[in-house]
Amino acid sequence: MLLRCCTNLIDFYKRLGVEDRIHFHREVYWVEPGGRVSRMRRGLLPAPFHFTESFARLHFLSAADKISIGQALLSVQREFRRRTDLEHMTMLDWLREKKQTQPAIERFWRQVLVSAVNEELDCMAAVHGLQVFFLGFLSRADSYEVGIPNVPLAELYSNNAWAKYPQINIVHRATVQGLKIANNTVSHLVVNGERVKAEAYVLALPFERVAALAPDLRIDFSRFTHSPITGIHLWFDRAITDLPHATLLDRTIQWMFNKQDGRHIQLVVSASRSLVGMKREDVIELALRELKDFFPRATEAQLERAHVVKEVRATFSAAPNLEELRPFSATSVPNLFLAGDWTRSGWPATMEGAVRSGYLAAEALLSSLGEARQFLLPDVA
């Protein structure tokens, strides 16, 4: 899933020629236990007031909730990129400072931000939360639109997609076992027991692998931690919903994606620490129990098969006071560069952040070779 404000991720899909496989939805569905659905979509007013009409009709928020949210969104508009302490406080602290009602925090702010940043509100730097709402909700009338691939991810990023770049050779299951630095220059990599030499190198690895492979870089990873994501795929003998997607309120499961005619349902739990230690069958039982709270037809449906994917180290935790430790693409070794959503991409742990990091690494590498080019696209605002 991505939002229309992810300008560099969309550009990346265009470069691969797969942008037509991303379908953007103008409506966002919120479902309460019991099955009541609220719909949010842009109206006739220009940004940042384009949600005024549909926001007023959201059933799951009271008038007091909506007033507090509206006031806080005006604060987002004023404070993002201007207030200097947002990196040093949690999003929950910021919301309490803005006197948000508890239902507004749980049903609106948390529902959006935990999924977007993959971290809980009391562990997330406020700067990332304001960034999500500023760029995704307030900057442009269409920036909130949810993009969902209509093909499996394996097809979206397949070798066929890369075939238009014959100079690129992707080698699967190639383990980088060593990186040799001598005289402040990378001389070679050791990959599957063999030396690999190049003019320049980009390490696009999890941060803990960089520390193990290149300790000479002396990057301080002491405050870097992970946040997990759990995906649950359920196949039923009949359709349980007609909605293309929905955010599910007041339960463990946060998002539902209708993968095939309401029978193949994908569920996503971000910052899923509570599920990491659970047995597979218990996760499936929890998912089924919660689905029945939202979609009555699930009560009569028979589960045909299920698949649970736990990404324990899915992303880095976008905690307060971490931004200054996120490294830039260029390193102290002139021919060695870094990429990864944990680098200083300007975004939290998202696919947009990952693409931005790759573009920044490419720019730094080419600049070192005297071939300056710009790949990074500006944010929508």
d(CA 110, CA 127): 15
d(CA 151, CA 100): 39
Check whether 242 has a pLDDT greater than 90.
yes
Sign of CA dihedral 266, 130, 61, 122: positive
Chosen CATH of 226-316 out of 3.30.450.20, 3.90.660.10, 1.10.3720.10, 3.40.50.720: 3.90.660.10
Specify the CATH architecture of the domain 27-144.
Orthogonal Bundle (1.10)
pLDDT band at 287 (very low <50, low <70, confident <90, very high): very high
d(CA 378, CA 381): 8
- Average pLDDT for residues 20-29, to the nearest whole number? 94
Q: What is the structure's pLDDT at 154?
A: 83
Q: What is the structure's pLDDT at 124?
A: 97
Q: What is the structure's pLDDT at 12?
A: 95
What is 196-218 written as a DSSP string?
A: E--S-EEE-S-HHHHHHH-GGG-
Q: Which residues of 274-311 are buried (b: 16+ CB within 10 A; e: fewer)?
A: ebeebeeeebbebbbebbbbbbebbeebeeeebebebe
Q: What is the structure's pLDDT at 157?
A: 87
- Average pLDDT for residues 362-371, to the nearest whole number? 94
d(CA 236, CA 260): 10
Q: Pick the range with the lowest mean pLDDT from 94-108, 144-158, 344-358.
A: 144-158
Distances (CA, A) of 318 to 105, 227, 249, 253, 369: 19, 9, 23, 21, 33
State pTM to two decimals: 0.92
Q: What is the structure's pLDDT at 109?
A: 97
Contact 254, 331 (CB under 8 A): no
Q: What is the structure's pLDDT at 169?
A: 86
Contacts (Cβ under 8 Å, ≥6 apart) of 302 = 236, 237, 238
**What is the domain partition of the chain in residue ranges?**
27-144, 170-224+319-368, 226-316
Q: What is the pLDDT of residues 26-48, one digit of tens each?
A: 999 999 999 999 999 999 999 99
Q: What is the pLDDT of residues 320-353, one digit of tens each?
A: 999 999 999 999 999 999 999 999 999 998 999 9
Contact 365, 198 (CB under 8 A): no
Q: Pick the range with the lowest mean pLDDT from 63-77, 174-188, 314-328.
A: 174-188
Check whether 381 has a pLDDT greater than 80.
no
% the chain with pLDDT above 90: 86
pLDDT band at 54 (very low <50, low <70, confident <90, very high): very high
Q: What is the structure's pLDDT at 60?
A: 97
Q: What is the structure's pLDDT at 336?
A: 96
The fold of 170-224+319-368 is FAD/NAD(P)-binding domain (3.50.50)
337: β partners: 202, 330
Q: What is the pLDDT of residues 210-222, one digit of tens each?
A: 988 888 888 999 9
% the chain with pLDDT above 70: 100
Q: Pick the range with the lowest mean pLDDT from 156-160, 274-278, 341-345.
A: 156-160
What rounded mean pLDDT belongs to the chain?
94
Contact 121, 90 (CB under 8 A): yes
- Average pLDDT for residues 136-157, to the nearest whole number? 90
